Amino acid sequence: MSTPSYARLLRLMLIALFTAAAPATAGDTSAEPTPAALHAQMKQISGDPGSLSEALRRGQQSAAVCRHCHGAGGNSVLPEVPNLASQNAGYLLEQMNKFTLGQRKSSAFMEGMIKALTPDERIAVALFLSQQPVVRKPAAARTHSAAGKRLYDKLCVSCHGADGRGTDTIPRLAGQQVKYLEDALTRYRSGNGERVDPRMAAYTRNLKDTDIRNLAAYLTVLQP
């Protein structure tokens, strides 16, 4: 993590700290519905135009505070903070559930931000972000990694797709922030519990550091 962006991240965390209304119930998961129930609820909302537009409106409100780090409409400008714009809704909900249940580890602050959302708000935020357009990076920022493409086509394409857009529950990787991609792959590989997924553990186990850099370099310039 480079020093200037880290300093900026810390500053943003302070801004977010003062703008986030952290309710007293943060961390209380006693009334937490099962992930399956939340995914079913999201599906139902998506299928009903009236409920969907209401959820999108509420999602926009709840996601206002996320902008400080994740950028306007979920288009991040910080290297270690992921884009959320046009990320797949089922995946976004799953990750927020994982943060809430302690199955994915991040800074206490980031976890607190998610735990401060009610289950309904998590669904609304996931739907809202999944519909935000992606801001494309300037052509100057694009350098293609042939080695990254070879590895991706061999190991990753079966799940994440040739265009890197995944499915409802498999994350979109195209255009993702390069530092964030490297961090995520390193975390799955390390098996230290920050990010736990048996499939990703299996597919990162034998990657070298240079493989991770090449894969991230390839994915970040893939048209989002």
Q: How far is CA 150 from CA 14, 43, 144, 192, in A?
A: 41, 36, 11, 28
Distance CA(160)–CA(152), nearest Å, equals 9
Residue 160 binding ligand HEC, by CB under 6 A: yes
Please name every residue paired with 104 in a beta bridge, in sequence order, or none if there are none. Answer: 195
Among 21-29, 33-41, 44-52, 108-116, which window interacts with ligand HEC (CB under 6 A)? Answer: 108-116
Q: Cα 40 to the chain's mean position, in Å? A: 20
Query: Smallest gap, in angstroms, from Cβ of residue 18 to ligand HEC?
Result: 11
Query: Smallest gap, in angstroms, from Cβ of residue 13 to ligand HEC?
Result: 4
Near ligand HEC by CB under 6 A: residue from 5, 8, 13, 147 = 13
Query: Smallest gap, in angstroms, from Cβ of residue 141 to ligand HEC?
Result: 19
Q: What is the 3-state secondary structure (H, E, C) of 127-139?
A: HHHHCCCCCCCCH
Residue 155 binding ligand HEC, by CB under 6 A: yes
Q: What is the DSSP letter of 27?
A: T
Q: Are 184 and 90 in contact (CB under 8 A)?
A: no
What residues line the site for ligand HEC (CB under 6 A)? 12-13, 16, 63, 65-66, 68-70, 80-82, 84, 87, 92, 95-96, 106, 109-110, 113-114, 117, 125, 155-156, 158-160, 170-171, 173, 181, 184-185, 195, 197, 199-200, 203, 215
